[in-house]
């Protein structure tokens, strides 16, 4: 910055002169950079997002933004309004630098802002909330996004107002209103905020009217409602009921709304309006991945099978890595709306570098979903596992010896046996999307124990966990993190008590991406991966949206698999780094990643030959995690 600051008026005269001299008036001077001095009290990313003047993305395919004098003049007012809304009414633009390049087709802009003293929230008070239980009102206070002593942010004041209204409507006051009053004090810098409730009539749920259903029985809809006539009105129960109706996948549209709000009745009538969708769906798909090569999938799903909102379906798949058929059935509303009972039967083939496995059997699962974010389930599995050495490596005596130690029958070159196990699963998610999350987290835990109540050839216990976290930096950048853990403990320490199909592998498009699928694993003496009983892996991704639907990713993956239970050793981890491209489609982001091995695996065989490449290419649909 020059010692003597240029005035705003002189600035725009200078810009006009530059534009006229270069004959580039009307948006032909590209904004090469936009910088701020003095911005400490607010989030600079959000300040940038509030402006129409943007910095160009200075890569070949990045979006270009051009300087427009009239838009920037309006942006000057936007900056002051942005600051005022966040409690800094005295903030002013006190300086501006503009520098054109030699070609006079790009400009570097630097804005200097003097923020001034903030208006501090001195008091936050609630009056007229006598109908709210004291414990709930105390909880509301702890959840306030604006605290005493912080700058008075008007967006946060509006958020508190909405929270107060919701509290009324969730405790029997559907017509409640809240008035917000602000007093900035004698000095104009210490704000007292008072939220005054006008609760209105205490009300209960009244009769429920259902409209729009044709083939779906009315009782199927009513049992999804989280309220009964006569119960105290709670808006959260209305919202949860609507979410549950959508969760049935029976309806294209579902709306649960109170009626006659203007009359403020003590018994609130409720109307449930639905529009049924197609209950039978067939999906055919195919594709090509760098790991599975050609892939064909076919699915049939019936979401009202035999009525009563039961669902059933079939999935058929063929690829070079796995293939088979799965049948599924689900009975909703078992015992209560929170419980459902599922059944699955399958015959599934999996092909690893060392052996192939066939799993034939089924599983029954009782699931409890306490909320949209949290569920737990208990299951019983009964299946037959058969694994055999791949024909192309049958002559590898070192492989055969290794698999015999793991339970291979030396006379048949197969591992055969039945498995009966009890399982438990827990899932909790606050992520905003299951396929392309930008914020929130997910936790999934699975535990399994072979059942003593039925005969079986395998005997083990296992536990695994998967944690994911998504942290946004503004609107365009997300830091995504993942941590995985798995451990199988065979009874008596005998490896033969674990079927080959249950053993862990890493590598591929969703884990340690410098290696292909099944390539991160304990090896035989000849170098073939054979899986292990313990696993640890992590991934860090920096995801950035560049232009339109195009995005880029930088990632670091690490992990390994160990032969024995509890065999974790941090010094044995394999690491991979690399870039990736993403392109948004209606079914999720199209993904292309290049993973590079930082520490290759000695002696690893890939397709029967020692590996020489330290990189792998991965092409798929959906984020890696």
CATH of the domain at 242: 3.10.20.310
Residue 396 and residue 277: Cα distance in Å, rounded?
56
Q: What is the pLDDT of residue 289?
A: 65
Q: Which of 1-10, 89-98, 179-188, 469-478 has the lowest mean pLDDT?
A: 1-10
Name the band, by pLDDT with cuts 50, 70 and 90, for residue 12: very low
Residue at 473 is within a domain: yes
> Residues 228-240: pLDDT tens digits?
999 999 999 999 9
State residue 27's pLDDT score. 64
Q: Are residues 150 and 252 in the same domain?
A: no
Residue 464 lies in a domain: yes
Query: Crossing angle for the helix pair 154-169 and 69-85, nearest 10 degrees?
Result: 60
Asked whether residue 169 falls in the same domain as residue 245, the answer is no
- Our CA angle for 103, 106, 108, nearest 5°, is 125
d(CA 511, CA 599): 15
Judged against a pLDDT cut of 90, whether residue 197 lies above it is answered with yes
Closest CA to 400 of 386, 419, 387, 417: 387
Q: Half-sphere exposure of 521 toward its Cβ, with a 13 Å CA cutoff?
A: 26
Report how far residue 229's alpha carbon sits from residue 218's, in angstroms, rounded to the nearest whole number: 16
**Domain end position, chosen among 114, 149, 167:** 114
Closest-CA residue to 373 (of 486, 242, 240): 240
With CA atoms as reference, report the closest residue to 448 among 434, 469, 465, 432.
Answer: 465
CA gap 513, 556 in Å, rounded: 9
Pair (569, 503) in one structural domain: yes
Domain with 230 in it: 204-276
Q: Where in 430-573 does DSSP place strands (E)?
A: 440-450, 460-473, 477-490, 534-547, 550-562
Domain assignment present for 293: no
- Within this chain, do residues 129 and 258 fall inside the same structural domain, yes or no? no
* 496, 607: one domain: yes
Most confident residue range from 70-74, 191-195, 450-454: 191-195
Q: What does the alpha-carbon distance between residue 370 and residue 374 come to, in Å, rounded to a whole number? A: 6
pTM value > 0.95: no
Min mean pLDDT across 55-69, 156-170, 499-513 is at 55-69
pLDDT digits 0-9 by tens, 468-501:
999 998 778 999 999 999 999 999 889 889 999 9
Number of H helices, E strands in the chain: 8, 27
pLDDT at position 75 is 92
Q: Is residue 519 part of a domain?
A: yes
In the listed set 143, 175, 198, which residue is the last one of a domain according to the structure? 198
Residue 290 placed within a domain? no
What is the reported pLDDT for 228? Answer: 93
| Lowest-pLDDT choice from 72-76, 87-91, 439-443, 474-478 | 474-478
- Looking at residue 248, what is its pLDDT? 87
Helix 8-22 crosses helix 69-85 at what angle (to 10 degrees)?
Answer: 150
Strands annotated E in 140-201: 177-183, 190-198
C-alpha 136/C-alpha 61 separation (Å) is 52
So what's the pLDDT on residue 18? Answer: 42
Strand boundaries in 212-261, DSSP class E: 251-258
Q: Do β-strands 190-198 and 120-127 pair in parallel, antiparallel, or remain unpaired?
A: parallel
What is the tens place of the pLDDT at every residue in 108-123?
Answer: 999 999 999 999 999 9
Distance of alpha carbon 196 from alpha carbon 205, whole angstroms: 25
Is the sign of the CA dihedral 426, 432, 435, 439 positive or negative? negative
Sorted by sequence, the CB contacts under 8 Å of residue 101 that are 6+ apart come out as 32, 107, 108
Q: Which residues fall within 8 angstroms of residue 507, CB to CB, at 6 or more apart?
A: 513, 515, 516, 517, 518, 519, 520, 521
Statement: residue 273 has pLDDT above 70: yes
- Residue 300: inside a domain: no
Which of 198, 232, 257 terminates a domain? The answer is 198
Residue written as token pair 């496995």: 357
CB atoms within 10 A of CB 179: 13
User: Domain check: are 228 and 138 in the same one?
Assistant: no
Is 98 in the same domain as 218? no
Count of alpha carbons within 13 Å of 252, Cβ hemisphere only?
Answer: 7
Same domain? 185 vs 108: no
Cβ-based neighbour number of residue 264 at 10 Å: 12
Dist. CA 4–CA 10, nearest whole Å: 12
Let me know whether 501 and 596 are in one domain: yes
Same domain, 431 and 538: yes
How does strand 251-258 pair with strand 588-597? unpaired
Note whether 473 and 607 are same-domain residues.
yes
- How many CB atoms are located within 10 Å of the residue 330 CB? 19
Q: Are 519 and 601 in contact (CB under 8 A)?
A: yes
Contact of 128 with 198, CB cutoff 8 Å: yes
Quick one: pLDDT at residue 119? 96
Using alpha carbons, list the distances in angstroms from residue 397 to 313, 404, 415, 572: 43, 10, 17, 27
Classify residue 291: in a domain, yes or no: no
Q: What is the CATH number of the domain that holds 593?
A: 2.40.160.50
What is the distance between the alpha carbons of residues 112 and 220, in angstroms, rounded to a whole number? 62
The alpha carbon of residue 390 and the mean position of all alpha carbons in its chain are separated, in whole angstroms, by: 38
DSSP assigned state of 41: S
Do 407 and 485 lie in one domain? The reply is: yes
**Total domains, the chain:** 4
Per-residue model confidence (pLDDT) at position 537: 97
Pairing outcome for strands 267-276 and 204-211: parallel
Q: For residue 449, is it within any domain?
A: yes
């Amino acid at each position: 910055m020059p010692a003597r600051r240029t005035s705003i008026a002189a600035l725009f005269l200078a810009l006009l002169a530059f534009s006229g001299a270069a004959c580039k008036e009307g948006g032909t001077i590209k904004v090469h950079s936009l910088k701020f001095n003095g911005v400490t009290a607010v989030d600079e990313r959000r300040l940038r997002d509030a402006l129409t003047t943007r910095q160009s993305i200075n890569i070949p395919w990045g979006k270009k933004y051009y300087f427009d004098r009239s838009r920037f003049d309006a942006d000057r007012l936007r900056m002051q309004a942005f600051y005022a809304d966040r409690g800094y009414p005295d903030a002013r633009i006190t300086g501006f630098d503009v520098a054109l390049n030699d070609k006079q087709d790009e400009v570097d802009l630097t804005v200097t802002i003097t923020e001034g003293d903030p208006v501090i929230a001195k008091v936050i008070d609630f009056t007229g909330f006598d109908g709210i239980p004291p414990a709930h009102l105390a909880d509301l206070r702890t959840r306030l996004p604006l605290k005493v002593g912080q700058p008075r942010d008007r967006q946060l004041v509006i958020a508190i107002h909405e929270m107060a209204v919701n509290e009324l409507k969730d405790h029997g006051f559907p017509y409640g209103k809240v008035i917000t009053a602000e007093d900035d004090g004698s000095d104009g810098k210490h704000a007292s905020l008072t939220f005054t409730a006008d609760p209105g009539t205490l009300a209960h749920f009244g009769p429920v009217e259902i409209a729009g259903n044709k083939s779906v029985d009315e009782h199927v809809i009513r049992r999804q409602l989280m309220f009964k006539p006569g119960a105290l009105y709670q808006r959260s129960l209305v919202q949860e009921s609507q979410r549950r109706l959508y969760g049935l996948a029976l309806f294209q549209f579902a709306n649960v709304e109170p009626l006659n709000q203007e009359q403020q009745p003590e018994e609130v009538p409720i109307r449930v309006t639905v529009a049924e969708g197609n209950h039978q769906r067939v999906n055919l798909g195919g594709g090509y991945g760098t790991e599975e090569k050609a892939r064909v999938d076919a699915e049939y799903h019936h979401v009202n099978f035999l009525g009563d909102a039961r669902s059933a379906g079939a999935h058929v798949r063929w690829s070079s890595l796995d293939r088979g058929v799965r049948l599924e059935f689900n009975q909703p509303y078992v015992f209560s709306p929170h419980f459902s009972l599922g059944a699955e039967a399958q015959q599934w083939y999996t092909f690893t570098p060392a052996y192939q496995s066939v799993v034939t059997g089924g599983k029954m699962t009782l699931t409890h979903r306490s909320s949209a974010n949290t569920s737990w389930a208990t299951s019983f599995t009964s299946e037959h596992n058969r694994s055999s050495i791949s024909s192309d490596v049958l002559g590898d005596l070192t492989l055969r010896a290794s698999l015999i130690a793991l339970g291979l029958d030396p006379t048949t070159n197969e591992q055969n046996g039945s498995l009966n196990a009890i399982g438990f699963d827990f899932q909790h998610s606050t992520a905003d999307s299951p396929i392309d999350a930008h914020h929130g987290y997910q936790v999934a835990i699975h535990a399994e124990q072979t059942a003593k109540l039925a005969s079986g050839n395998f005997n083990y216990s296992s536990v695994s966990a998967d944690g994911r976290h998504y942290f946004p930096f503004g609107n365009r950048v997300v830091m995504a993190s993942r941590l995985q853990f798995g451990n199988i403990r065979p009874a008596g320490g005998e490896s033969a008590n674990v079927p080959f199909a249950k053993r862990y592998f890493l590598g591929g498009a969703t884990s340690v991406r410098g290696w292909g699928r099944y390539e991160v694993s304990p090896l035989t003496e000849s170098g073939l991966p054979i899986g292990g009983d313990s696993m640890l892996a992590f991934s860090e991704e920096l995801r950035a949206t560049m232009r339109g639907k195009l995005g880029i990713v930088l990632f670091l993956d690490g992990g390994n698999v160990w032969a024995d239970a509890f065999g974790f050793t941090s010094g044995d981890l394999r690491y991979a780094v690399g870039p990736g491209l993403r392109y948004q489609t209606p079914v999720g982001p199209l993904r292309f990643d290049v993973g590079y091995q930082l520490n290759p695996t000695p002696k690893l065989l890939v397709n029967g030959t020692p590996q020489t490449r330290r990189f792998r290419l991965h092409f798929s649909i959906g984020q890696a995690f």
